[in-house]
Amino acid sequence: MNLIIDVGNTFIKFAVFAKGELVFKQSITHELGLKNVKKIIRDYPQLKKGIVSTVGKEDQEIIKIVDKHIDLVKLTSKTKLPFKNKYSTPKTLGVDRIALVSGSVDKFSKNNVLIIDAGTCITYDFINKKNHYLGGAISPGIRLRYHALHNLTANLPLLEAEYPEGIIGDSTSQSIHSGVINGVLKEVDGIIGEYHEIYEDLTVILTGGDTDFLAKRLKNSIFANSNFLLEGLNFILEYNSH
């Protein structure tokens, strides 16, 4: 059994994989992380190895506890990866993006793949059928856009994400919803369309916290998988275990 730890800016995700299958998943606040990882180790004594990916603040106590019980891999730019990294600044490539690209190698090898992660930021990552990672794009995510409108202006309210009633907002709230949500949908569909113009045989994967919110509203054909990053981390762990 494998323990996967994904430390984000707001939450920590824990997952347990058995023979490649996800058998447990939990997303909690950083404050509860140490208590919960101890419980997971007790509940799954079959755990043999694990991997930790950190894009937020690293929790040394969690790492120490896990490292005492199982063989732990800490994902960095120096970790052995299942693809050729052609990024011009490989040391700055986020470990979350590394995990997503690795997941595409596992699930869609020898394909042109665009992975879209809709979370705090929306990241776009492309790997070609030659197994070369070429790069992508980063833009503000849905909640970041709502917060920016509120924090950087004097009078606009902070709203929760909501589908707009139409393209024409007839109130300030509806105008914000229309601008944010329609803007994100048009951006994602537009970028997918541009990739399709270059690569006709393109596989598109949508993942991240806003997967379900966006998936049904996109015009392009996609594979929606909210667990894709966790699966990618598990694949990197297995790849480094041989």
DSSP, collapsed to helix, strand or coil, labels residue 170 as coil
Cα angle for residues 93, 6, 95 (degrees, 5° grid): 10
DSSP, collapsed to helix, strand or coil, labels residue 196 as helix
Q: Where are the beta strands (DSSP E) in 19-91?
A: 21-29, 49-54, 71-74, 84-85
Catalytic residue status for 189: no
Catalytic residue among 6, 59, 67, 96: 96
Token pair recorded at residue 72? 């732990």
Provide the residue count of the chain: 242
Closest among 187, 190, 206 to 139, alpha carbons compared: 187
Sequence-distant (≥ 6) Cβ neighbours of residue 122 within 8 angstroms: 116, 138, 139, 140, 141, 184, 187, 188, 208
The Cα 42–Cα 54 span in angstroms is 23
Residues with a catalytic annotation lie at 96
